[in-house]
Structure 1
Amino acid sequence: MSKLSITAYTFGVLFFIVSCSFSIFYGIKVVTHDLPSEKKTQEKYNYHFVLIPEELDNEYWRLVEKGAKAAAEDYGVMLEYVGPKQANIEDHLKTIEMSAASKVDGIMTQGLSDEQFTPLINRVVEKGIPVITVDTDAANSNRKAYIGTDNYYSGYLAGKALIADTKGRANVAIITGSFYKNHQIKRVQGFQDAVKPEENIHIIDIQESEISRVQAAEKAYQIVQEHPEVNAFYGTSALDGIGIAQVVKKYRKNEQIYIMGFDTLPETLNYIREGIINATVVQEPFEMGYESVKMMIDLIEGKKVPSVIHTNTKILRAGDLPPASRKRMEGNH
């Protein structure tokens, strides 16, 4: 073998060894970079849950998120809060599907309609991922548990409160967040059943806001124009009462218009202080979020969990607000 051949051969061998060394080095570097990250995640979080609301930036659902995140911090859970920016059934369902595909440990969501949500929830549970419904139940599905308001009872409670406050005499218009979502349907049914025996209470119109304060205001304006006899409103979602109040304050402020709202968003409470909204149904969104995380942990750890837990529901009026709030309200008059 010539000297030139030996030199070329030696160079080739050295190049191969150096190449292998770099490959091994960077291969190890990649592995040692990924593994500690995964190990750290496993040490930091016991479980990975997803909370999926009907509308991401809805103020009510932000309170549910706040409760869930508080529990997640207390119990070492990685919690993601993901969902449609605006209420959209198809986007909601896709988010559930994507969460299941990513193999999270548990999914907490609403059961907005039996037709669409029940089969999807069943498929997710069949894959071994537990589902808890929050705020809105899918009672006919294989969801593991439900935590939230008894929506029929909350509507019934609203009806009874309206009867008491109006002395059983009212022409009522209802603005509901949705004609097809389970919780909204039940809130209307409960209210209708409560006022049905009253001869002097009449439901004049029912309109849909699609969980939008703008549409709630538009529907309220339409109603006051078309039905001047209406002297009471009932809004079944957190934004409906606010939209109604905006219209009544602007166009019918000097008339006696009774408003029953839903939830205790800051705007709702301000309208109660002003005397525009007369009463509102109080739910416990923070508790729903917090307890749903605890329930999911119990399910995964094999503990018994009630299939239904109803959170507290009550009626709040101006007289139930703290004294300082009532003073501000009196000052506005």
Structure 2
Amino acid sequence: MGRLTKTAYTLGILCFLISCSFAVFYGHKIFTHDLPKAKKIVEKGRYHFVLVTEEMDNEYWRLVEKGAKAAAKKYGVILEYVGPKQANIDEHLKTIEMAAASKVDGIMTQGLSNKQFTPLINHVVLSYGIPVITVDTDTTNSHRIAYIGTDNYHAGYLAGKALIADTKGKANVAIITGNFYANHMIQRVQGFKDAVKNVNGIHIVAIEESHISRIRAAEKAYQILQEHPEVNAFYGTSALDGISIAKVVELKKREKDMYIIGFDVLPETIANIRKGIINATVVQHPYEMGYGSVKMMVELMEKKHIPSIVHTGTQVIRKKDLSDLHPNRMGEGKNNAIPN
């Protein structure tokens, strides 16, 4: 073997080993999510809670985190915000299992899928004795102690009624939803369908899933417009869907003949409403969900009664409503939906 060949061979092995070490390191980071270091942390707070999110860096979930941390500070508890880096149901479930195994005092999480989350929540509550409060998405048949979040069916129904009013009951609609398995996404789609089903001029042409991804939502919006040029209205059921739909509509120069209704009031959503690209959005209260979940868990620890369901309110806003939009809609403050 020549010197050049040996050098190339050695470099190849070195690169392979480095790439493997990075894979192991980042794989560890993804699957551990900086999980609880239980004993030392608990000594510094009254209680130790974990908020398990669907996707850690999602802007919507950062608002939930912000509310939860504000409540944790007020009530003197330790709160950890953990979850998959990107939406992944298996990682989400594993993170809940790991939080339970670390013997925290309480867990707040979504109840994304009845089939997968109900057995796990039941196991955490019944076997570990750790209370679970579902946030944003409920599993009604589980042993979760309480739910705080949107009435997702009602939110979808409101979106459908808004579309009917704004399009005068005539639209070829495409729906882009976060995914097909999550309870809240299913409910938002079903509520919308029920709202428009008796309107002869409204036709649902296509339904696609974005997997809570800006890129995937944009790809699906582009695909729909290529395959169904008759589409003149979009309904996006997750915070990122409407934003991505708007980008594609702009790219295709369809702003003037396209109606878009989305979810949530992220800064990009508000900017697109001001520009007239997104026509309406369904407002939720993620800050309240986070704040209220911690408050309720503290009350539970103190043997106080808490309601089994707290709906944090929902409304549809348009451009004319932006001046009246309370700061808490974008993650600052809280309102009366949080139980006293």
Match of 2:4 in 1: none
d(CA) in 1 for partners of 2:301, 2:255: 57
Secondary structure in structure 1 of the residue aligned to 2:306? coil
Separation (CA, whole Å) in 2 of partners of 1:252 and 1:150:
35
1:8 corresponding residue in structure 2: none
Q: Match for residue 18 of structure 2?
A: none
Residues 228/47 of structure 1: CA separation in 2 closer, same or farther (3 Å cut):
same
The aligned counterpart of 1:167 is 168
**For 2:236 and 2:179, how far apart are their aligned partners in 1?**
11
Task: Quote the Cα distance in structure 2 between the aligned partners of 1:182 and 1:39.
Answer: 35
Aligned to 2:289: 288
- Report how many aligned residue pairs link the two structures: 287
Q: Classify 1:133/1:259 alpha carbon distance in 2 versus 1 (closer, same or farther; 3 Å).
A: same
Structure 1: which amino acid aligns with 2:116?
Q
Other-structure match for 1:300: 301
- CA, structure 1 residues 250+40, in 2 after alignment: closer, same or farther (shift >3 Å)? closer
Aligned equivalent of 2:68: 68
Q: What's the CA shift string for 1:308-329, capped at 9, x where partnerless? A: 00001001100011299xxxxx
CA RMSD in angstroms comes to: 1.6
* Partner secondary structure for residue 79 of structure 1: strand
Runs of 4 or more above 2 Å deviation = 38-44, 252-255
What residue number does 1:31 align with? Answer: none
Alignment partners' CA distance in 2, 1:98 and 1:313: 33
CA distance in structure 2 between the partners assigned to 1:40 and 1:201 by the alignment: 58
Say which SS state the counterpart of residue 211 (structure 1) adopts: coil
Partner of residue 93, structure 1: 93
Where structure 2 has 5 or more consecutive residues not aligned to the other structure, the ranges are 1-37, 326-340
Q: Secondary structure at the match of 2:257?
A: coil
The residue aligned with 2:23 is none
SS in 1 for 2:73: helix
1:1-333 to 2 correspondences below 5 Å:
44-126=44-126, 127-253=128-254, 255-322=256-323
Judged with a 3 Å threshold, the aligned counterparts in structure 2 of structure 1 residues 40 and 202 are, in CA distance, closer, same or farther, namely closer
Query: Which letter does structure 2 place at the counterpart of 1:203?
Result: I
Structure 1 residues 253 and 106, CA, compared in 2 at 3 Å: closer, same or farther? same
| Aligned 8 A contact 2:121 2:132 in 1 | yes
- The CA distance in 2 between the partners of 1:103 and 1:233, in whole Å, is 44
Give the secondary structure class of the aligned counterpart of 2:218.
helix
Q: CA deviation at 1:299?
A: 1.2
The two structures have a TM-score, normalised by structure 1, of: 0.84
CA distance in 1, matches of 2:190, 2:111: 18
Rounded Cα–Cα distance in structure 1 between residues aligned with 2:221 and 2:265: 20
Identity of aligned residues (%): 72
Partners of 1:184 and 1:293 lie apart in 2 by 24
2:34 corresponds to? none
Which residue does the alignment assign to 2:35? none
Stretch moving more, 294-303 or 263-272: 294-303
Alpha-carbon distance change, 183 to 39 in structure 1, aligned in 2, over 3 angstroms: closer
Task: Give, in whole Å, the separation in 1 of the partners of 2:83 and 2:41.
Answer: 23
1:261–1:109 CA distance, 2 compared to 1 (3 A): same
Give 1:17's aligned residue.
none
Pair 43,50 (structure 1): closer, same or farther in 2 beyond 3 Å = closer
Please state how far the C-alpha of 1:254 moved relative to its aligned partner.
5.1
Deviations 1:228-267 (A, max 9, x none): 1100000000000011000001103354100000000000
- Cα distance in 1 for residues equivalent to 2:283 and 2:324: 19
Task: Quote the Cα distance in structure 2 between the aligned partners of 1:295 and 1:40.
Answer: 24
Instruction: Quote the Cα distance in structure 2 between the aligned partners of 1:224 and 1:112.
Output: 29
Residue ranges of structure 1 left out of the alignment (5+ in a row):
1-37, 325-333
